[in-house]
Amino acid sequence: MASTTKRAVTIIDVAKAAGVSVSTVSRVLNNKDDVSETTFQHVRDIIDELGYSSSLAAKGMRSRSTNVVGLIVPDVSDPFANKVMKGVNQAIVEHNYDLLIYTNGNILDDISAAREQQYVSLLNNGLTDGVITVTPSIGSFSSVGPVVAIDPHIHHPEAPAVISTNFKGAVAATRHLIDLGHRRIGFIRGRADLQSAIRRQQGYESALEKAGIPLDPSLVVDGDFTRESGVPAARQLFSLDPRPTAIFAANDETAFGVIDVCDALGIRVPEELSLVGFDNIAEAAYCDLTTVDQFMDRMGYIGTKMLFDLIDGKPLIECIYKIETNLIIRGTCGSIS
């Protein structure tokens, strides 16, 4: 029997085959305890025999609980989303839930707020018991089920969210460079519409100020969190005279773009340029990139835990959970004598 396109087996088919009513089958399906052992076993056998499996669609429409959590990501191949998925995955395994990931796959076409809201409703409208959104642009959703945001673009004080201490992390990264003796430190921005990107820039500026280093606007250039955007940004910084001796990129991807330019221009890292990234994505370890770990997998894990509490009706201790970042010193930074 190859991939046959036949009519689906319904609960009615099972009921008929078992010689019982539909409601009895439904009881068996949901492990209700008011069914005789004999009937229960009999129905179970028929179910297996027919290869029946209840339709999530119909089920979710009728009952309020599905035992699956939803996850909305802009793009499954995005490294950030990817690590978050990992953490979510771990949490759902522990809670014996299933996971439904929804994506329109296009991180580029700016998902509108309306569209985000639509996805949330889509899932929480019967399919899932709650949903997690990754880097949503809106801070709060209207939904029948609970919603937890991971690294939302803007913070809404009452909307459950998990964020990392971007400011602190950026301060740590910048100070590390300063401690190494650097004074001309370039900064490549992240996407201007993201809260996290803004906080990182603020951290950079704050650390400079604390160290008494005047802020040079020409050292701060645009980027958008992509590797591609790191290339022109780096070229722009390298065209400066004197050249910055260090660069702090708003995220690892951008830092890789900087490395691409260094390779092309023959600039040695860390001898001629010190470089720090942000995120600690998997590739960072392989490239020996000094960066700030923001434990994205942990964000996904914690977020899912929060969601479970919400689903269970437990009150949240903290509506907004902050995860401490951690500077990871690897090989892309050198000291200036």
Partner DNA sequence: CTGTTAGCGCCTTCAC
Partner DNA sequence: GTGAAGGCGCTAACAG
Note whether 331 binds a second copy by CB under 8 A: no
**Window contacting DNA (CB under 7 A); options: 48-56, 228-236, 291-299, 320-328:** 48-56
**Window contacting DNA (CB under 7 A); options: 15-23, 205-213, 302-310, 315-323:** 15-23
Distance of closest approach, residue 131 Cβ to a second copy, in angstroms: 10
Tokens of 223: 């980027």
Note whether 21 binds DNA by CB under 7 A: yes
Separation between Cα atoms, residue 172 and residue 166, nearest integer Å:
10
Q: In what order do the strands lie in the sheet with 130-134?
A: 68-72, 130-134, 147-150, 161-164, 320-323
User: Which of 61, 76, 192, 264 forms a contact with DNA (CB under 7 A)?
Assistant: 61
User: Which of 46, 111, 147, 249 forms a contact with a second copy (CB under 8 A)?
Assistant: 147
DSSP 279: B
DSSP 331: S
β-strands 147-150, 130-134 pairing: parallel
Name the residue nearer to DNA (CB basis): 66 or 174. Answer: 66
Note whether 143 binds DNA by CB under 7 A: no
Note whether 98 binds DNA by CB under 7 A: no
Note whether 67 binds a second copy by CB under 8 A: no
Note whether 4 binds a second copy by CB under 8 A: yes
Element (DSSP H or E) covering residue 133: strand 130-134
Name the residue nearer to DNA (CB basis): 57 or 108. Answer: 57
User: Which of 50, 54, 155, 216 forms a contact with DNA (CB under 7 A)?
Assistant: 54
**Window contacting a second copy (CB under 8 A); options: 97-105, 214-222, 231-239, 259-267:** 97-105
Name the residue nearer to a second copy (CB basis): 159 or 185. Answer: 159
Phi, psi of 162 (to 5 degrees): -120, 125
Phi, psi of 285 (to 5 degrees): -65, -40
Asked if 294 contacts 280 with a C-beta cutoff of 8 angstroms, the reply is: yes
Separation between Cα atoms, residue 130 and residue 52, nearest integer Å:
26
β-strands 326-328, 291-293 pairing: antiparallel
User: Which of 3, 5, 31, 38 forms a contact with DNA (CB under 7 A)?
Assistant: 38
Asked if 276 contacts 173 with a C-beta cutoff of 8 angstroms, the reply is: yes
172 binds, among DNA, a second copy, none (CB under 5 to 8 A by kind): none
Angle formed at CA 94 by CA 92 and CA 97, multiple of 5 degrees: 40
Give the residue among 130, 133, 144, 119 at the shortest CA–CA distance from 66: 130
Give the residue among 30, 40, 23, 96 at the shortest CA–CA distance from 64: 30
Tell the residue number behind the tokens 């190494």, with chain if given. 180
Distance of closest approach, residue 57 Cβ to a second copy, in angstroms: 4
Note whether 82 binds a second copy by CB under 8 A: yes
Distance of closest approach, residue 51 Cβ to DNA, in angstroms: 12
Q: Which residues lie near a second copy (CB under 8 A)?
A: 1-8, 48, 51, 53, 55-58, 60-61, 75-77, 82, 85-86, 89-90, 92-93, 98-106, 114, 117-118, 121-127, 140-147, 156, 158-160, 282-283, 286-287
Q: Which residues lie near DNA (CB under 7 A)?
A: 7-8, 10-12, 20-27, 29-30, 34-36, 38-40, 52, 54-55, 58-59, 61-65
